[in-house]
């Protein structure tokens, strides 16, 4: 099993500016900018909002409004591994709550939280589209289906083995 | 080794196949073929449709025909290669029986899915070999834009995103709108939970969608296109990027396409997780870099869309139909389906169904045929209770109406809507109030908040459903739900609010007795609602192994090893983990 952890960069003005200038060649680029900011740093750092605002001449409040409108944007840093728990219809019927419950137990992070050791962030998503394999999760960018409590334990243990816990900070 | 070469091994690697472990199987196949010095063709393909059997591997040769292996694991690869590919004898216990494949496919007609699971989605040569880009060639060579629009209108194709508006007419509006700059948008913001048609098409046959966009662009006079894809589909985005680069290189995208006076460029934009952006005016807002909030129509996007320019927005499935229609002609297409709903429809069949997957059926087929002939009945062996169609905007159709034909009008008459193609089968263990609450919870959270009735009305409805499932339902709650539902439908601007009450209304209409059981008897007949059930250990069956104790999140199970355990109802949160892990079925629910 290949599991790649998301090692994210520390936010810097130079990097933020570079991202803004890469996308800002055409109108309506704010969302693309925010997406790359999040992919790079793991979240939207508050300093980035003001910086983007200055760069593209848009009120920071408007950018903040966009960040909070779209579910994908997160204002808190993300753990090294992102687990998205699917709560689509098929997964709901197939035991998504059971999956979330077990994940919370073994990762130490409930949905919407990051674990103390910063190894996991667990998120709730509407549907991953793997309905025939319900219940399923997405770990970083790989989907895992037909989950049982045992299978969840296995996936989490495998990551834990690879990760030397780092302190939050 | 001359004989080796005739074998072709195909493996389904769309997101479902990968989620089931397809990459590991692919690696195992590739390594072992190499180690054994076998010169056989191993090919990656998209979704083969039989998702319930993932990981799927198809082995074929001109002499031996096709054999499908289901639920393949890396451990199974060695025997398949040794016994089947070298020895010539299929591993019978792992193959999917012909009878099963035939019943799954017999009633299907694959137009949109023509290449899915057949070609390598990352190879433009494969697409070209399957008559790809012949339709755009035909259009540019021999048809006027008006002729293209007439052909699509005559085919009877209606928008597959849910609303069912005739595609040709939509194109005609945009064509007639004045202005030099026009846009084509492919709506790939497939947000309905329980729907994965568009994802599968994008991952399995991205070029067909691109070709559809090119034809649409020529027809309405647009030179730029956007594909707006959901953020949750990273793999679809990746395949689209590969396909776009290939098409650009081959001269199908860019300026003076194929040497004709037609320019067209396509860009990909990723959504950021807002269901309402599937609504066309909200989608446009999002593309313009704003909060995705729907606006009043008219003006329709055909008159004033992206950046105020005439814009045509078509769904993925609609566009994937177009090249086929152009190549085979409107007359061939409209032979399928019913008088008002022509052609085929792709459905994502999931839930408590034995053979779930991606299916494409002629319009007019009945729900019964889909559930039993194609889907093989319920997966649990329990009685088929209802089918949910159209996701959060749709409704629940009970088993008693299973003979309803699938066409836009008949489905609407049941109180549901066709929607984009999610079909969720439910059995006797599915609670109808729970499912109504599930969908309303979704739409309530996804309401953009612009219209008061959608923002607050859905919340009030959700609160009522919440108290019903918690055992605190009151007399008059059903009527209250009906009244609120009507108001939310009437006073909402866009489709989200106008259809959000449908799951509640249809469950009340067909399963009123279940609502009454929750309200008056404080019982959940499907044994699903946490507050109305209790878990118990069956002492005669419990060997005292302690596995359930290990999994119980609240420490509610106690007892001595090798003696029956006991569940403390005060501590139990009814998560059901114990029942799920117990290997001896020693836990019951009341």
Domain residue spans of chain A: 13-69, 81-162
Return the CATH number at B503: 1.20.1440.230
User: A27 with B289: CB under 8 angstroms?
Assistant: yes
- Please indicate whether, in this complex, the C-beta atoms of B286 and A31 are within 8 angstroms of each other: yes
For residue B575, which residues of chain A lie inside 8 Å, CB to CB? 97-98, 101
Q: What is the DSSP letter of B54?
A: P
- Please state, in angstroms and rounded to a whole number, the distance separating the CA atoms of residues B73 and B28: 9
For residue B387, the cross-strand partners are: B397, B425
- Of B495, B520, B545, which one is at a domain's C-terminal end? B520
For residue A1, what pLDDT band results from cuts at 50, 70 and 90?
very low
- Please indicate whether, in this complex, the C-beta atoms of A87 and B287 are within 8 angstroms of each other: no
Residues B26 and B69 in one domain: yes
For residue A144, which residues of chain B lie inside 8 Å, CB to CB? 19
Q: What is the mean pLDDT of chain B?
A: 95
Token digits of residue B43: 């090919």
- Preferred mutation among A106, A107, A129 to probe B, highest tally of B CBs within 10 A: A129
Residues B400 and B474 in one domain: no
For residue B190, which residues of chain A lie inside 8 Å, CB to CB? 129
Question: Quick check: bond before A135 cis, omega within 30?
Answer: yes
Return the CATH number at B32: 3.40.30.10
- Please state, in angstroms and rounded to a whole number, the distance separating the CA atoms of residues B213 and B199: 17
CA-nearest residue to A66 within chain B is B291
User: B395 with B138: CB under 8 angstroms?
Assistant: no
Residue A97 has pLDDT above 50, yes or no: yes
CA-nearest residue to A108 within chain B is B553
- Of B385, B404, B427, which one is at a domain's C-terminal end? B427
CA-nearest residue to A88 within chain B is B193
- Residue B147, pLDDT score: 98
Residue A168 has pLDDT above 50, yes or no: no
Between A and B, how many residue pairs show a Cβ–Cβ distance under 8 A? 167
Residue window 422-461, chain B: list those with CB within 8 Å of chain A.
Answer: 422, 424, 426, 430, 435, 438-439, 442, 446, 448
Residues B420 and B436 in one domain: no
Whether B550 maps to a domain, the answer reads yes
For the segment A135-155, the average pLDDT, to the nearest whole number, is: 92
- Of B427, B451, B485, which one is at a domain's C-terminal end? B427
Residues B310 and B368 in one domain: no
**A154 touches B: beta carbon within 8 Å:** no
Residues B288 and B162 in one domain: yes
Nearest to B303 by CA among B171, B174, B186: B174
Residues B355 and B329 in one domain: no
Classify the phi-psi angles of B133: left when phi > 0, otherwise alpha if psi is within -120 to 50, otherwise beta: left
- Residue B191, pLDDT score: 87
Whether B110 maps to a domain, the answer reads no
For residue B424, which residues of chain A lie inside 8 Å, CB to CB? 89-90, 93, 131
Residues B148 and B284 in one domain: yes
Q: What is the mean pLDDT of chain A?
A: 89
Residues B46 and B130 in one domain: no
**A72 touches B: beta carbon within 8 Å:** yes
- Please state, in angstroms and rounded to a whole number, the distance separating the CA atoms of residues B218 and B12: 33
Whether B325 maps to a domain, the answer reads yes
Whether B339 maps to a domain, the answer reads no
**B555 touches A: beta carbon within 8 Å:** no
- Please indicate whether, in this complex, the C-beta atoms of B19 and A102 are within 8 angstroms of each other: no
Residues B151 and B268 in one domain: yes
For the segment A61-74, the average pLDDT, to the nearest whole number, is: 95
Which domain range does residue B543 map to? 534-589
Whether B525 maps to a domain, the answer reads no
**B190 touches A: beta carbon within 8 Å:** yes
Distance in Å, alpha carbon of A14 to nearest chain B alpha carbon: 23
Contacts of B571 (CB under 8 A, 6+ apart): B554, B555, B556
Whether B365 maps to a domain, the answer reads yes
**Nearest CB neighbour to A93, from listed B51, B287, B430:** B430
For residue B234, which residues of chain A lie inside 8 Å, CB to CB? 141
- Residue A2, pLDDT score: 41
Residues B261 and B369 in one domain: no
Residue A126 has pLDDT above 90, yes or no: no
- Please state, in angstroms and rounded to a whole number, the distance separating the CA atoms of residues A50 and A61: 9
Residues B128 and B225 in one domain: yes
**B167 touches A: beta carbon within 8 Å:** no
Residue A88 has pLDDT above 50, yes or no: yes
For residue A7, what pLDDT band results from cuts at 50, 70 and 90?
low
Whether B7 maps to a domain, the answer reads yes
Return the CATH number at B372: 3.10.20.600
- Considering its fold, how many domains does chain B have in total? 5
For residue B18, which residues of chain A lie inside 8 Å, CB to CB? 142-143
Strands B224-229 and B183-188: parallel
CA-nearest residue to A38 within chain B is B272
- Residue A128, pLDDT score: 86
Residue spans of chain B under pLDDT 70 = 1-4
Residue window 282-301, chain B: list those with CB within 8 Å of chain A.
Answer: 286-292
Residues B244 and B229 in one domain: yes
Whether B106 maps to a domain, the answer reads no
For residue A132, which residues of chain B lie inside 8 Å, CB to CB? 16, 51-52, 54, 349-350, 356-357
- Please indicate whether, in this complex, the C-beta atoms of A129 and B195 are within 8 angstroms of each other: yes
**B399 touches A: beta carbon within 8 Å:** no
Question: Which CATH architecture best describes the domain A81-162?
Answer: 3-Layer(aba) Sandwich (3.40)
**Nearest CB neighbour to B273, from listed A70, A134, A144:** A70
Distance in Å, alpha carbon of B515 to nearest chain A alpha carbon: 19
């Amino acid at each position: 099993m290949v599991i790649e952890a998301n090692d994210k960069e520390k936010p810097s003005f130079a990097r933020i500016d570079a991202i803004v200038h890469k996308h800002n060649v055409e109108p309506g680029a704010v969302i693309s900018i925010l997406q790359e900011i999040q992919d790079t740093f793991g979240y939207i750092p508050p300093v980035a909002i003001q910086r983007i605002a200055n760069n593209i001449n848009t009120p920071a409040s408007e950018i903040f409004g966009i960040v909070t409108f779209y579910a994908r944007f997160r204002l808190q840093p993300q753990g090294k591994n992102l687990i998205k728990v699917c709560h689509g219809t098929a997964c709901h019927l197939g035991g998504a709550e059971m999956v979330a419950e077990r994940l919370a137990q073994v990762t130490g992070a409930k949905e919407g939280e990051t674990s103390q050791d910063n190894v996991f962030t667990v998120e709730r998503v509407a549907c991953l589209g793997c309905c025939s394999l319900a219940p399923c999760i997405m770990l970083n960018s790989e989907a895992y289906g037909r989950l049982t409590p045992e299978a969840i334990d296995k996936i989490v243990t495998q990551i834990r083995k690879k990760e030397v816990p780092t302190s939050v900070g | 080794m001359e004989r080796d070469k005739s074998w072709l091994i195909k493996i389904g690697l769309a997101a479902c196949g990968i989620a089931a472990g397809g990459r590991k199987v692919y690696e195992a196949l590739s390594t072992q073929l190499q180690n054994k010095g076998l010169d056989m063709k191993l090919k990656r393909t998209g979704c083969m449709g039989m998702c319930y059997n993932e990981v799927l591997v198809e082995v074929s040769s001109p002499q031996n025909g096709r054999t499908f292996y289901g639920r393949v694991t890396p451990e199974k690869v060695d025997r398949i290669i040794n016994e089947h590919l070298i020895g010539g004898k299929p591993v019978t216990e792992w193959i999917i029986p012909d009878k099963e494949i035939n019943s799954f496919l017999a009633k299907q007609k694959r137009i949109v899915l023509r290449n899915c699971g057949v070609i390598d989605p990352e190879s433009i040569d494969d697409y070209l070999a399957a008559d790809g880009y012949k339709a755009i060639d035909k259009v540019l060579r021999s048809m006027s834009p008006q002729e293209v629009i007439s052909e699509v209108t005559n085919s009877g194709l209606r928008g597959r995103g849910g609303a069912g508006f005739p595609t040709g007419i939509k194109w005609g509006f945009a064509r007639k709108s004045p202005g030099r700059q026009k846009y084509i948008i492919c709506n790939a913001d497939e947000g309905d939970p329980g729907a994965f048609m568009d994802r599968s098409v994008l991952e399995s046959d991205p070029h067909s969608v691109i070709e559809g966009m090119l034809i649409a662009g020529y027809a309405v006079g647009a030179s730029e296109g956007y594909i707006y894809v959901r953020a949750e589909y990273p793999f679809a985005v990746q395949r689209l990027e590969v396909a776009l680069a290939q098409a650009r290189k081959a001269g199908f995208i860019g300026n003076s396409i194929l040497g004709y006076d037609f320019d067209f460029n396509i860009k990909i934009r990723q959504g950021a997780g807002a269901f309402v952006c599937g609504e066309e005016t909200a989608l446009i807002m999002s593309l313009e870099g704003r909060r995705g909030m729907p606006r009043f129509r008219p003006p329709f996007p055909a008159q004033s869309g992206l950046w105020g320019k005439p814009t045509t927005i078509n769904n993925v499935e609609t566009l994937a139909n177009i090249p086929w229609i152009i190549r085979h002609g409107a007359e061939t297409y409209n032979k399928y389906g019913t008088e008002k709903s022509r052609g085929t429809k792709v459905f994502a069949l999931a839930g408590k169904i034995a053979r779930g997957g991606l299916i494409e059926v002629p319009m007019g087929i009945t729900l019964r045929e889909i559930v039993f002939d194609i889907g093989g009945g319920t997966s649990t062996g329990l009685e088929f209770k209802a089918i949910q169609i159209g996701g959060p905007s749709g409704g629940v159709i009970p088993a008693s109406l299973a003979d309803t034909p699938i066409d836009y009008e008949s489905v609407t008459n049941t109180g549901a809507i066709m929607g984009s193609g999610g079909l969720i089968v439910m059995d006797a263990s599915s609670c109808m109030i729970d499912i109504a609450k599930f969908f309303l919870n979704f739409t309530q959270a996804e309401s953009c908040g612009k219209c008061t009735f959608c923002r607050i009305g859905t919340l009030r409805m959700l609160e009522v459903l919440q108290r019903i499932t918690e055992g605190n339902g009151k007399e008059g709650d059903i009527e209250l739900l009906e009244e609120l539902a009507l108001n939310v439908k009437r006073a909402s601007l866009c489709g989200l609010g106008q259809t959000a009450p449908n799951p509640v209304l249809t469950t009340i209409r067909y399963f009123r007795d279940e609502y009454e059981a929750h309200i008056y008897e404080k019982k959940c007949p499907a044994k699903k609602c946490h507050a109305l059930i209790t878990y118990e250990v069956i002492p005669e069956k419990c060997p005292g192994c302690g596995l359930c104790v290990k999994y119980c999140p609240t420490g509610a199970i106690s007892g001595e090893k090798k003696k029956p355990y006991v569940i403390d109802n005060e501590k139990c949160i009814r998560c059901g983990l114990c029942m799920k892990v117990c290997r001896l079925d020693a836990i019951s629910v009341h």
